[in-house]
A and B are shown apart, each in its own frame.
Chain A
């Protein structure tokens, strides 16, 4: 079963590439690892009292709902759709993470402005490029967002993909 990585900024539109992942998977099920990277605190007291589960309580309900919606939509193709906060964004850390999960491909939205959702949020897209794995860009017509789930509506003819290894 293929494993793919999808970095997000916890916005619903950042889940949009799941459409393309499932379209490209065809009949072969795949596991999608959705991540959001956080910067590891540097202070000793912060490290000592770090609560790994705290960010999960701040996950937007709409984001979880959108994941559930896509999981249901592509239930025949998606083997596992999981979400994880990663405390760290260095190249070595991300490479180890992807190696442990046998990630084969990274998907992300093309030319999308990263909007940090939490104070510790960090954009890891640049670092992911350096991890020597294929990166697939999914283009989505960026427009001013006024809704939530509308951003997930897939329009095949308006999507363009470029691959970069």
Chain B
């Protein structure tokens, strides 16, 4: 069933239930309470009957009788009963007693008056005390007006329920169509977006309602898809270019060597160039493989890795590659006391940090490079800073793109794989990496990882 119809039916059912309940309540209370005036009339007749029959003065009795016969309308089925209380036992089998019930008589005796109803026959009784005896005076009559009133009321309520249900159903259809129109519009728009038109976006209306949020979320998803596709395209074309360059050199050199007979020295030179370009190719392919593997998070290893060990092993890697670079571990922010650890794979962490550290050493222009660790809240922070060439401000946002080289770094050898690899590893272990840099001044890289639970507690 379509959601539109469901909404309409639900809306109609709810309103119909409310209307029916309301109608039942109206009918019930009208039935119970709307005939008080009839009881009042019966009571009046009972009082006059008591005056007529028991008034001390004969003249008054006659006056009351005259009033009753001449000025009071006789009600349909009006009957009058005067019963002495000590003769109540005799009437227990009478139709009156059976119709009204014993409670009616008991209530008259206890409270002085009582009323009861049997269908549309109404009974009102009062207690009258004389000097000698006590009497129950009961007047009953049929309320024909009540009958027709309730019948009409029932008809009106039934018709009103049916008509209002139809009206509510119609309004419900319009209402649900109106509410779901934006969703239909979004669905129509989304069906037009394909791989070749990922740049298109949904229209986001002003406001903070759920539909605007839905459209914004779709647009964000489309942006991420577009970025992913573009990154993939760029990656493939960059990878092809990067792999092609050393291959072209290898083929060129081999071609040159094979073109004619050459001397030993020329063959040696050609082979050396082929060797060096092959090593470059190998390094690129290894980096690509690590980059690809770092994107898979299916089999993540979690073991305790001590931060201090990580710092010094990364430092050693940097010293091995750049022995002349003044790189050192700065312990000034490292917490004192118990050792700090993070959860993950030590080799991957070392790869990530050493890649960043190697970059710092490469571009430091011989200046000092600092490697430090700190703990803040639930995070372990690694800090790598240098006073090197920095990164141009408008290029920082591309720094994590595979094969991207900053414009001021192109003279230095590199492949643009280290930072994307580091970022992938950091993201795998729910970390963050933030780069701050100023061209010509230096670069700071802050890497945060969640601290291992219970690995460090502030000493109090």
Binding site for B on A (CB under 8 A): 19, 65-66, 68-76, 144, 146-150, 152-155
Contacts and interface: CB of A to CB of B under 8 A. Distances in A.
Given A69-B375, A69-B381, A153-B370, A146 B442 contact: yes
A23 to B, nearest CB: 10
B444 A76 contact: no
B456 interface: yes
A150 B383 contact: yes
Contacts of B334: 73
Interface in B335-356: 335-337
Given A65-B376, A65-B377, A147-B444, A155 B332 contact: yes
Contacts of A75: 335-337, 458-460
Consensus secondary structure, chain A interface: helix
Nearest to A79: B460
Given A68-B377, A72-B375, A76-B337, A153 B444 contact: no
Given A68-B377, A69-B374, A144 B438 contact: yes
Q: Which of B332, B443, B456 has the most CB of A within 10 A?
A: B332
B376 A150 contact: no
A72 B458 contact: yes
Nearest to B374: A69
B372 A146 contact: no
Contact of A73 (B370, B374, B383): B374
14 contacts: A72-B376, A73-B332, A73-B375, A74-B336, A75-B336, A75-B458, A146-B438, A146-B442, A146-B443, A147-B442, A147-B446, A149-B383, A150-B383, A153-B332
A68 B456 CA distance: 14
Contacts of A72: 335, 374-376, 456, 458
B437 interface: yes
Interface string B449-460: 000000010111
* 5 A-B pairs closest in CB distance: A147-B444, A154-B332, A146-B438, A69-B376, A150-B385
B233 interface: no
Q: Which of A147, A154, A155 has the most CB of B within 10 A?
A: A147
Given A69-B376, A146-B444, A153-B383, 5 more contacts: A69-B374, A72-B375, A73-B333, A150-B383, A150-B444
B237 to A, nearest CB: 33
Contact of A149 (B374, B375, B438, B443): B374
B394 to A, nearest CB: 15
Contacts of A152: 332-333
Nearest to A154: B332
Contacts of A71: 458
Interface in B358-410: 370, 372, 374-377, 381, 383, 385, 390
Given A147-B444, A148-B436, A69 B333 contact: yes
Given A76-B336, A150-B370, A144 B330 contact: no
A153 B442 CA distance: 15
A66 B333 CA distance: 10
Contacts of B383: 149-150, 153
Nearest to A67: B376
B441 interface: yes
Nearest to B384: A150
A148 B446 contact: yes
A147 B437 CA distance: 7
A72 B337 CA distance: 10
A144 B437 CA distance: 11
Contacts of B370: 150, 153
Contacts of A73: 332-336, 374-375
Contact of A146 (B336, B375, B390): B390
Contacts of B444: 146-150
Contact of A153 (B330, B376, B443): B330
Given A69-B374, A76-B459, A146 B441 contact: yes
A20 to B, nearest CB: 11
A152 B375 CA distance: 13
Contacts of B446: 147-149
Nearest to A76: B459
A27 B266 CA distance: 72
A144 B441 contact: yes
A147 B459 contact: no
Contacts of A149: 333, 372, 374, 381, 383, 444, 446
Contacts of B456: 72
Contacts of A74: 336
A64 to B, nearest CB: 9
A73 B337 CA distance: 9
Contacts of A70: 333
